[in-house]
Amino acid sequence: GPFEDNGKYLYNGFIGAEGFAAHGFLKEDDTGNMAISPGTSKMLTWFFQWAFCTAAATIVSGAVAQRVKSPAYAIYAFIMAGFIYPVVVAWTWNNGWIMKVADVGYMDFAGSGVVHLTGGTGAFCGAAILGKRIGWYPDDPAFHPHNVPLVVLGTFILWFGWYGFNCGSTLGLHDAGTGALAAQVAMNTTVAASTGGIVVFAIRYAKLRKYDVPAMCNGILGGLVSITAG
């Protein structure tokens, strides 16, 4: 909030003006106990968005790894978490100005645009500012991925975490309907990741006649990010 008189869109369309520092999260009833309102609590929503916010902030780390000092990355993470991500969420999921564009609204089930595009844009800007890695020659085998098992392990860890990312975006498992929706989300997530990996693997093999496992892992991640939109 605050919202317009119709209670649907943000009044300023840019960023909310309430809830900072957990203001209004806890309310007491007449007996002095915490009043629990039915439905999703603000604490739960905060924790859910915290997880998404950290994902947007850490996406950049892969693009600037070993090329920036820790204080510089800490400053970036503070700006992303405190100012960039909250504004993007206010524009989209919190019924900001993007919801009014062409009167079609905004659909992003689990953050393909809100989280990954935001983080990817930050990563692109960081890499563009830093420029080409000094002493890096992409055609030199010494610079090719050299620990494929760890690449695969990291991919499977991300894939496993994605089920919490996507299925958790149902925002509830309190009845058969939401349970069925979460099951469908899990199935779609699995099919998208598998398809992305297989397609990239087949294309690389057709071009190089080699089994490019790191490229397959990139394809898996591409499929996961794509299906996150819905």
Predicted pLDDT at 2: 58
pLDDT bracket for residue 217 (50, 70, 90): very high
Predicted pLDDT at 6: 62
**Who contacts 193 (Cβ-Cβ below 8 Å, separation ≥6)?**
159, 162, 220, 221, 223, 224, 227
Can you tell me the distance from the alpha carbon of 131 to that of 125, in angstroms, rounded to the nearest whole number? Answer: 10
Is the whole model's pTM more than 0.75, yes or no? yes
Q: What is the pLDDT of residues 123-142, one digit of tens each?
A: 999 999 998 888 878 888 88
The tokens of 167 are what?
């299925």
Q: What is the pLDDT of residues 2-34, one digit of tens each?
A: 566 566 666 666 777 677 777 777 776 677 666
Query: pLDDT averaged over the chain?
Result: 86
Query: Phi and psi dihedrals of 10, rounded to 5?
Result: -60, 140
In the chain, count of helices (H) and strands (E)?
8, 0
Predicted pLDDT at 38: 64
Predicted pLDDT at 151: 93
Q: What is the pLDDT of residues 78-96, one digit of tens each?
A: 999 988 998 998 888 888 8
**Who contacts 182 (Cβ-Cβ below 8 Å, separation ≥6)?**
167, 170, 173
